[in-house]
Amino acid sequence: MEISTLATYHCLAFVWYFFVAYSITHIKTEERPSEVFLYGGQWKYLTVLNLFLQAVFYGVSFLADVLRLIKKLRCAKPVISSRDLLFSVLAFPVSTFVCISFWTLYTYNRELVYPKSLDGVIPLWLNHAMHTAVLPFALLEILALPHRYPAKKKGLILLGFVAFLYISWVLWIYSVTGEWVYPLFALFSPPGLAAFFAGSLAIIVSFYNFGEFLNRMIWGQSKFSS
């Protein structure tokens, strides 16, 4: 794909994610259902954190494209490295996890992750923007250009560290409020919850490996952006 085309795509994707993130974070407090508690705001939901992650990723990608267009290659190299690290370790596995885990649980029992009362607050398009469109965007990014993956150990350590931070945030919120971020967590005993978190981490690691596999199958071992 031509750099100018990539720049246009990344710019539009950045604007889209910024708009979606703005829309979800500006829902009025009084419109929220009673079961949605206020502590932590929208920042306690992985879905919302992912929206901002994607916005940052596409912003960095757009900056890398612009620097390449204006031939500032020395400046572009660290930006491209940051872009690839963001995509491989976080943007692809997290967006894939958000989409697949949400719709799996939603199909089983939506009240565990997305109570029906939210339908009157969050429009259908916004629900799909947060939970559905993130996966096609991630797959399109793999098709659009190759990404350099870090050494497997480094990538998995970084992914595990970010997962640990989010789990710690969820547990902190529960210790302060006595409420779980997602009603699903209330179904588990402490050992069961630990097993659930471990299983979720294993799944997101598998999505990391899947992204690396797709990148290698489409672009080969040696073709990377410069």
**Residue-wise pLDDT tens digits, 147-176:** 999 999 999 999 999 999 999 999 999 999
Q: Which two tokens stand for residue 100?
A: 């697949």
CA distance 172 to 178: 10
pLDDT (average), residues 62-89: 91
Higher-pLDDT residue of 32 and 68 is 68
Sign of the alpha-carbon dihedral angle for 78, 167, 207, 128: negative
| pTM of the predicted protein model | 0.91
**Residue-wise pLDDT tens digits, 98-115:** 999 999 999 999 998 898
Mean pLDDT of the chain: 90
Task: Quickly state the pLDDT bin for 190 (edges 50, 70, 90).
Answer: very high
**Which residues make Cβ contacts (< 8 Å) with residue 46, sequence separation at least 6?**
94, 98, 166
pLDDT (average), residues 24-37: 61
Residue 222 pLDDT? 45
Matching residue, tokens 């259902």: 33
Task: Quickly state the pLDDT bin for 66 (edges 50, 70, 90).
Answer: very high
Which stretches within the chain are classed as H helix? 3-25, 46-69, 73-86, 92-109, 124-131, 134-144, 152-177, 190-219
